[in-house]
Amino acid sequence: METNRNAAIAYILPFAAWMALMFALPPTAISYAIRAAATLVAGAACLAAMRWRAHLPSTSRMAVGVLAGAAVCGAWIILPTWPFPAPTAPNPSPYAPTVCGWPLTIAKLIGSAFVIAPVEEVFFRSFLYRWLIRRDFRAVPPAYFDLSAFLWTVLLFTLEHDRPVAAALTGAIYGMLAIRLGLGSAITAHVTTNLLLGLHVIYRNAWQFW
């Protein structure tokens, strides 16, 4: 039981650190960089403590993840924000290079794509989904499908974001990738989505997505 609790903490801690700092720190570029760095350190510490080994998906599964991530990025941009009004960004955005400088803008891009995307996938798809099926979550095969747990995970993922239509679709796609092709494919998709969306934000000055 102790081992299972320690494993749960390792899965939860990086995401919990991210969320706690989001509420504790002001919405500035330097705060985002601090949050990303702290989450990265927490994730690395958990990896070392649990002696996890990274298993890259096969080339074909990674390719599916990239394509799915690109499609999700497109959906995120074009889908309506119903039932909520479209989010607006402060003018000027605190993440714009004219405000914070290019190093912090790039830090935002890197943190969004390569820190929080993997952390969310580990928490939602590898821990929460399986924990909702059985408290001894490590005994649940990653490829096992449970409709109730799947829908609850999608719902909770959606509530974390400000675009419910796009977030629900995103959570369902990432969830199915994790079940059918493995967590690595879901992480690849999420990284791709956040990276492409971040590049779109910077290139198009579409700061409302950040």
Residue 136's SS3 state is coil
Phi then psi dihedrals of residue 77, to 5 deg: -80, -40
Please report how many Cα atoms fall inside a 13 Å half-sphere around the Cα of residue 73, on the Cβ side.
21
Structure tokens at 11: 């899965």
Rounded Cα gap, residues 81 and 163, in angstroms: 5
Q: At what angle do helices 183-204 and 102-110 cross, to 10 degrees?
A: 150
CA-to-CA separations, 15 to 20, 139, 140, 207, in angstroms, rounded: 9, 22, 21, 24
Tracing tokens 């599916």 back to the chain, one arrives at 64
| Number of Cβ within a 10 Å radius of residue 177 | 26
For residue 54, pLDDT beyond 70 = no
pLDDT, one tens digit per residue, over 88-123 is 888 899 999 999 999 999 999 999 999 999 999 999
Amino acid found at 189: A
Rounded Cα gap, residues 119 and 126, in angstroms: 10
pLDDT, one tens digit per residue, over 66-86 is 999 999 999 999 998 877 787
Whole-prediction pTM value? 0.95
